C-alpha cells in the first residue's frame, strides 16, 4: 500500500494513514489496514529499522516521533474499530431480524389452526336460533332414560308393536322398569310437560335438542349415535294449521326461501294425526336427483298433534289444552344444508373434512 522508499517521509505517512483509517468501511478491512500500516513489512517498521543508522540525537528525536505516531495510529484504529463493529452488529441484527407477524406458507412451520365448533354443534346452534326467534325456549333432558319416559308415557306400552320403530340400546332390563339410551328426544317432552304441570307454567313452547341412540348399522344417511331436535307447543286452541305453519316458517328460515316443506300422513304413537315432514331436496332444488330418489323431496322428521293419551300420562286436561310436536335429525339438517354425501364423515373426526365448516 505504501511504497517503502527512502523518499517516504513520516509526516505524510501519518496523514495518509489517518485518512485510510477514517475511510475504512469494515472491521475486516481495518484489520488488513492495521497490518499494512504497522506490521513487520509496514512503513512504520521500516522507519524503526532506519533508527539504527542514525546518530544518537537524531535517533532519539525520530524514536520519540515514531512512538507517538504508532500510539496515535493505534488509538485511531481502536476508535474506528469500535465504530465499525457497532455498525456491523447493528446491520447483522437488522438483517437477521425475525418479523414475528410475518407468515409465508412453507417457510415457517405451519401455524396451529384455531379450532372451531363441530359442524353438528354449529347446526344445533343455528336451529336453536331459528326457533328462539320464533318464540320457543330451549330445554334439555337426560340421555339415559327409563322405559316410561322413552316409551310408556309416549303411548307406547311394553310389547307394543310400535317399539319396533326404534332399535333400542337397553342398559338394564327389569321386571317393572328398564333403563335405556333414549332413542329420540320425545321423552324430553314428557319431562317438560311434567315440570309445567307441577309449576303451573303452561302454556309451553319449547325446542329440545340432544343426542339419541339407536341400534342401527351406520350408513350414508344414518348414525347409531345422532342428534335430534324436538319441538313442543302446548297451548289453548292449537291446530294442525299452526303445526304446518311452524314447520314451513322454520324450513324457509333455516334452508332459505326457495326450500319448502310438505306433510305426508304417517303414524307415531304419541301424535294423532301424525305426519312425516319433507323439505325440497337441497341438492337438486326439487328437480329430482339420486339423493332424493328422483322425488324432489327429502324426509326430515316426524310431527303431529299431541295424542290425548300423552296428555293423560302427564296430567294435562286435553279439553283445555291442545298441542303439536315435531322432531327431526340435526345431523340430517347439516347433511342437507352442506350437501354432505355420507353422514359417517360427521363422526370420523377427519380434520380435513371438519375444517371446511
Minimum Å gap between C-beta 150 and ligand PHE is: 10
Q: What is the SS3 assignment for 298?
A: strand
| Choice between 13 and 268, CB closer to ligand PHE | 268
Closest CA to 304 of 277, 326, 329, 328: 326
Binder of ligand PHE out of 187, 209, 269, 327 (CB under 6 A): 327
Binder of ligand PHE out of 43, 210, 301, 323 (CB under 6 A): 301
- Over the range 155-171, which residues count as b (16 or more CB within 10 Å of their CB) and which as e? bbeeeeeebebbebeee
Q: Is the dihedral of CA 330, 336, 338, 339 positive or negative?
A: positive
- Over the range 29-52, which residues count as b (16 or more CB within 10 Å of their CB) and which as e? ebeebbebbbeeebbbebbbeeee
Other Cβ atoms within 10 Å of 26 Cβ, number: 12
| Choice between 58 and 140, CB closer to ligand PHE | 140
| Choice between 147 and 230, CB closer to ligand PHE | 230
Residue 13 near ligand PHE by CB under 6 A: no
Other Cβ atoms within 10 Å of 82 Cβ, number: 11
Residue 291 near ligand PHE by CB under 6 A: no
Phi, psi of 249 (to 5 degrees): -65, -45
| Choice between 305 and 340, CB closer to ligand PHE | 305
How many residues belong to the site for ligand PHE (CB under 6 A)?
Answer: 12
Residue 213 near ligand PHE by CB under 6 A: no
| Choice between 155 and 282, CB closer to ligand PHE | 155
| Choice between 84 and 266, CB closer to ligand PHE | 266
Q: Which stretch binds ligand PHE (CB under 6 A): 68-76, 110-118, 288-296, 322-330?
A: 322-330
149 alpha-carbon distance from chain centroid: 37
Distances from the Cα of 238 to the Cαs of 137, 245, 341, in angstroms? 17, 12, 38
Q: Which stretch binds ligand PHE (CB under 6 A): 28-36, 98-106, 134-142, 298-306?
A: 298-306
Q: What is the SS3 assignment for 70?
A: helix
Binder of ligand PHE out of 184, 191, 227, 337 (CB under 6 A): 184
Beta bridge partners of 146: 179
Residue 303 near ligand PHE by CB under 6 A: yes
Q: Which stretch binds ligand PHE (CB under 6 A): 60-68, 190-198, 241-249, 320-328?
A: 320-328
Other Cβ atoms within 10 Å of 233 Cβ, number: 21
Residue 208 near ligand PHE by CB under 6 A: no
By CB under 6 A, name the binding residues for ligand PHE.
Answer: 184, 186, 230, 268, 271, 301-304, 325-327
Amino acid at each position: 500500500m505504501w511504497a517503502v522508499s527512502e523518499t517516504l517521509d513520516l509526516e505524510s505517512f501519518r496523514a495518509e494513514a489517518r485518512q485510510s483509517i477514517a475511510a475504512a468501511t469494515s472491521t475486516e478491512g481495518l484489520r488488513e489496514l492495521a497490518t499494512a500500516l504497522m506490521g513487520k513489512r509496514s512503513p512504520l517498521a521500516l522507519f524503526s529499522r532506519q533508527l539504527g543508522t542514525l546518530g544518537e540525537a537524531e535517533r532519539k528525536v525520530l524514536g520519540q516521533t515514531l512512538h507517538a505516531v504508532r500510539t496515535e495510529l493505534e488509538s485511531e484504529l481502536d476508535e474506528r474499530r469500535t465504530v465499525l463493529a457497532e455498525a456491523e452488529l447493528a446491520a447483522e441484527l437488522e438483517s437477521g431480524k425475525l418479523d414475528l407477524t410475518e407468515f409465508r406458507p412453507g417457510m415457517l412451520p405451519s401455524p396451529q389452526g384455531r379450532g372451531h365448533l363441530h359442524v353438528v354443534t354449529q347446526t344445533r346452534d343455528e336451529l336453536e336460533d331459528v326457533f328462539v326467534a320464533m318464540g320457543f325456549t330451549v330445554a334439555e333432558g337426560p340421555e339415559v332414560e327409563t322405559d316410561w319416559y322413552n316409551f310408556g308415557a309416549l303411548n307406547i306400552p311394553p310389547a307394543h308393536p310400535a317399539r319396533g320403530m326404534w332399535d333400542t340400546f337397553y342398559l338394564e332390563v327389569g321386571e317393572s322398569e328398564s333403563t335405556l339410551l333414549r332413542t329420540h328426544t320425545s321423552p324430553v317432552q314428557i319431562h317438560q310437560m311434567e315440570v309445567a304441570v307441577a309449576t303451573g307454567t303452561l302454556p309451553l313452547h319449547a325446542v329440545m335438542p340432544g343426542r339419541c341412540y339407536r341400534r342401527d348399522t351406520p350408513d350414508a344417511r344414518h348414525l347409531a349415535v345422532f342428534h335430534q331436535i324436538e319441538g313442543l307447543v302446548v297451548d289453548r286452541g292449537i291446530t294442525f294449521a299452526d303445526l304446518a305453519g311452524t314447520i314451513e316458517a322454520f324450513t324457509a328460515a333455516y334452508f332459505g326461501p326457495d326450500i319448502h316443506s310438505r306433510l305426508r300422513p304417517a303414524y307415531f304413537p304419541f301424535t294423532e294425526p301424525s305426519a312425516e315432514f319433507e323439505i325440497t331436496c337441497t341438492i337438486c332444488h326439487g328437480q329430482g336427483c339420486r339423493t332424493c330418489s328422483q322425488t324432489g323431496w327429502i324426509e326430515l322428521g316426524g310431527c303431529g298433534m299431541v295424542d290425548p293419551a300423552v296428555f293423560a300420562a302427564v296430567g294435562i286436561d286435553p279439553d283445555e289444552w291442545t298441542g303439536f310436536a315435531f322432531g327431526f335429525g340435526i345431523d340430517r339438517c347439516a347433511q342437507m344444508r352442506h350437501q354432505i354425501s355420507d353422514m359417517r364423515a360427521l363422526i370420523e373426526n377427519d380434520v380435513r373434512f371438519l375444517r371446511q365448516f
